[in-house]
Amino acid sequence: MVAVSGYTGEGRGEKQSSPGIPETNLAPSSIAVIDGDPFAPKKPTVGDFLPPYLDVVDQRSTPGTDLGSNGLDEKCGQWALYGECQNGHRFAVQIFCGKPWHEACREIMHRRKIARLLPKVQQLLPAGHWVIRPPNELQVWFLSRRGRRLLIKRVIKALKSLEYRRGLVFIHYFGDDPTRFAFHLDVLVDGGWLEPEVLEELKAKLRRLIYNPAAIKRWGDTLAVNYHFKPTWGQVYSALEYCTRPTFTQLEGNERAADSIRGERTIRRWGRWDEEPKWQLGESEKKLQSLVSLEKGECPVCGKPIIWNKNPIPFDLVRSQGGVEITTGYYSLPPTRSPPAPLGGVDQRLNGLLKRKHAAFLEREEYLAQLARGGDQCR
Ligand SMILES: [Zn+2]
Ligand SMILES: [Zn+2]
């Protein structure tokens, strides 16, 4: 692309550097903490397992299938992980490809993302929503992972220097037009109402912190930096829904970008997120609340951690075992244990315990046998 090299003053073909974003300004170590998976809790959750599992699924189904949407269609949703809490509540979670351009699982992945972030976003009230969108002429730089990383770091550093002690950064690859790559960042922070003059000043400051003088000179106030104040919890929740929405919805014609973003985390954060929630979902959002628990790896019934089995099972098995969808992509399975015997002396209790253990054992045997059969069928 032409536009870019001219204005850095650097020759083309030299070592990559983004014109709008000189590299020198930032010690990489200062925000190294936000790289990696910021949301990985101490115990593994289903999310941590997904990429390797899809690889497993890849190998088990037709090898060499391309990653086009047809290939995705076949595998996506065909497998599940089985999990159980210490109280015997049993669950299965369906495994999806998670590619934003795969229509069949797009909204499911969106709900899961919302659920994973909700406990953090509930700490924001009022919230502020910044949007930073580089100009079209610079977009070519953000087709490279390095260019994107640089901008993300600069934006975080800039917002930190404006005294934002924490924030959630959402990476978007497209705007409203799914055919035109348009990398931009949405950032949720603890917000306040800003008087228009103050806001203009902050915007100007951010532009200077994010872009280099050449870019400021060329684009000035047209460098898109916007702020939206979110004073009510309803608005904060809508902002979360909006920020987590998948934007890369069309693979066709965007293969290069798809290649470049493979495995990239689309959400970063900085600061501490350990406060009590400032707002709660309405009663009608029970399903989402269950999803929040499950995404945290907690049993939605008793709150105990769920241990997820690492071997994927065919999703048909979940259905045939009487799995009932309790929330997006998660299924509850009938309990393996018989209900506890009424308390009537030690013997009776012991007897009940043994019976339950035995029943659980038999069920498990049956389950493993089924698993093996199912696995064979699907090879
Ligand atoms: Zn999918
Ligand atoms: Zn439980």
CA of 78 to the centre of ligand 1 (A): 10
CA of 280 to the centre of ligand 2 (A): 23
- Asked if residue 29 is part of any domain, the answer here is no
If you average pLDDT over residues 51-59, what whole number do you get?
Answer: 42
- Asked if residue 40 is part of any domain, the answer here is no
- Asked if residue 254 is part of any domain, the answer here is yes
Name the least confident of 5-19, 78-92, 129-143, 343-357. Answer: 5-19
CA of 85 to the centre of ligand 2 (A): 5
**Ligand number nearest to the C-alpha of 306:** 2
CA of 302 to the centre of ligand 2 (A): 4
- Asked if residue 235 is part of any domain, the answer here is yes
Structural domains counted in the chain = 1
- Residues lying with their CB under 5 A of ligand 1, a single-atom ion: 76, 96-97, 102, 105
If you average pLDDT over residues 178-207, what whole number do you get?
Answer: 97
pTM of the predicted model, to two decimals?
Answer: 0.72
CA of 93 to the centre of ligand 2 (A): 15
Strand residue runs (E) in the chain:
79-85, 90-95, 127-133, 167-174, 181-190, 224-230, 267-270, 306-308, 313-314, 324-327, 330-333
CA of 307 to the centre of ligand 2 (A): 10
pLDDT of residue 74: 73
CA of 96 to the centre of ligand 1 (A): 5
Give yes or no for residue 210 having a pLDDT over 70.
yes
Read off the tokens for 157: 């550093």
**Ligand number nearest to the C-alpha of 303:** 2
Contact 173, 181 (CB under 8 A): yes
- CA 334 vs. chain centroid, Å, equals 29
| Half-sphere exposure at residue 357, Cβ-oriented, CA atoms within 13 angstroms | 6
- Asked if residue 334 is part of any domain, the answer here is no
- Asked if residue 277 is part of any domain, the answer here is no
User: pLDDT tens-digit profile of 313-363?
Assistant: 999 999 999 999 999 999 999 976 554 444 455 555 555 555 566 566 556
CA of 303 to the centre of ligand 2 (A): 6
Residues whose CB falls within 8 Å of the CB of residue 128, separated by 6 or more in sequence, listed in order: 188, 189, 190, 191, 192, 227, 228, 229, 230
**Ligand number nearest to the C-alpha of 98:** 1
Tally: H helices and E strands in the chain: 12, 11
CA of 99 to the centre of ligand 1 (A): 6
User: pLDDT tens-digit profile of 64-88?
Assistant: 334 444 456 678 999 999 999 999 9
If you average pLDDT over residues 267-292, what whole number do you get?
Answer: 93
- Asked if residue 172 is part of any domain, the answer here is yes
If you average pLDDT over residues 243-256, what whole number do you get?
Answer: 95
pLDDT of residue 285: 85
Read off the tokens for 338: 């018989």
**Ligand number nearest to the C-alpha of 335:** 2
> Can you tell me the distance from the alpha carbon of 352 to that of 360, in angstroms, rounded to the nearest whole number?
12
- Asked if residue 129 is part of any domain, the answer here is yes
**Ligand number nearest to the C-alpha of 84:** 2
Provide the residue range defining the domain that includes 203: 50-270
CA angle 46, 47, 50 (to 5 degrees): 90
CA of 253 to the centre of ligand 1 (A): 19
